[in-house]
Structure 1
Amino acid sequence: MRVSGRRLMRIAALAVLALVAVSVGAAVLYRFLPVPVTPFMLVRAVGGSGIDKDWVPLTEISPQLVRAVIASEDAKFCDHLGFDWAAIEGAFAAIEDGGRLRGGSTISQQTAKNVFLWQDRTWIRKGAEAYFTLLIETLWSKRRIMEVYLNVIEWDDGVYGAEAAARHHFGKSAATLSRREAALLAVVLPSPRNWSAGKPGPYVSRRAGVIERRMGVVESDRLDDCAG
């Protein structure tokens, strides 16, 4: 059966509207409810990794970890609207110099990617990430973005969220993490399956020292106020 161009356009428009409705609905729900599981967790589980996670509210996560991830990942977290344009320009400059599409992701972007999307570096996924970043920046508070981020990010093979990470690496709750432990956890975020917070190598140990010093600036300049 032949389908007219106008009918195809109508079907495509309805499909887009449905996707928008579903995405907005999910974002609204996650503004209030814990995220039970993410696409990334499911893909990794199918690949053989387990899912070790235990959602806790931000009040049960040490403020030291909030400062550590801001110091390590996104010093402008409280000021931007989801995107660090200076970092993005740097990433594009690297591409122009022959490098790969990388870097420039804020905590908001990482949260959007981890909660709603799949893991790759294609332009399609980057576009979807931008959409979901704008969505959560509009519908969630900065405090909620930080809370979700710290509960879904991976900290070892199949270990997700601050509570599971604190128990896995240090045998304690996320609420009782020390400044040093928080810095070590922040350091391994770019490569949690290759670097260990609990058994840090020379690079991770040195980098944690840098993060600890930056945490002092985050605290003194109140760069974490929006997540407090």
Structure 2
Amino acid sequence: MGLDDIKRRIAAAADRAGRNADDITLIAVSKVQPDDRVLAALDAGHRVFGENYVQEAQGKWPDWRERFEGVKVHMIGPLQSNKSRAAVELFDAIHTLDRMSLATKLARQIEEQGRAPQLFIQVNTGDEPQKAGVLADELPGFLKACGDLGLNPEGLMCIPPEDEDPVPHFRLLRRLAADADLKLLSMGMSADFEDAIAEGATHVRVGSAIFGARDYG
């Protein structure tokens, strides 16, 4: 596969769904990928990337942003509250707002820094006890509490359970977003992004299908 192939598949999926491919943002998930693979995507003109770890992102994106104009970096992994300052400094979007302690820290940093990343609330659509995210029935209260802090989340994110059909989870997320009048849906990864596009995804997070398998060694 590769970047061009994924972009063609996104365009085809959008066409099948009667959507405009320009309304779908491809987040190239560059976490734990060799620099040469990420630089190849940058050289090819791609500008939106996703990272899971603040420290890893700090080590590469400030320099690459100086070299490549228009780069946007999205935080798509779990965010520790004590990393909120660095996250607000570095990321253009945070997809994993999942608890009030983090919301409070982010609100403080956004006020202090005068910089406001786009915020997505992570929803635990599968009710999985081991997984982060706001439960679906707690979302209205969480949104109100975020508003009370001065935060303005623009969308929702989910990671469906690995052993389940993702489509019902995508549909649930879409319904929750519509009920809350939120316009952005971050859902769909390498194995299921076409299904996510059919269900209204505005942001898809694709890593291994672009860059190849990660080497965690």
TM-score (ref. length: structure 2): 0.25
TM-score (ref. length: structure 1): 0.24
**Larger relative contact order (C-alpha < 8 A, sep ≥ 6)?**
1
More helix by share: 1
Larger Rg: 1
More strand by share: 2
